[in-house]
Amino acid sequence: MKQIFKITFPNNKIYIGKDLTGSITCLGDFNPGDVNNDYRNIKIPCFTIRKEVLWESESADDSELREREAQYIKIFKADNPKFGYNQ
């Protein structure tokens, strides 16, 4: 099952990612340095992220998956560092 998902971090910034297998443990390939920079001077006793599946398909090809990912990145403004971690 191919999926597009949204990860929400405690600071409400998001990351939009894609998964070719529908694995619950797939969290994408955001840059951990960007996330670390946002939490550099903040102590967080519990760091919880949320994963939501936005779209899924058993029949979509990889090009459609990439298109959908780009659409969701644009919709959620996830490529704007103010809102998200997509680069």
Which tens digit of pLDDT belongs to each residue from 13-49?
999 999 999 898 999 999 999 999 999 888 888 889 9
Q: The whole model's pTM is what?
A: 0.92
pLDDT of residue 32: 93
Q: CA dist 81 to 3, 21, 24, 25, 37, Å?
A: 23, 28, 26, 24, 12
Question: Which element (helix H / strand E) includes 75?
Answer: helix 62-76
Per-residue pLDDT of 58-85, as tens digits, reads 999 999 999 999 999 999 999 999 999 9
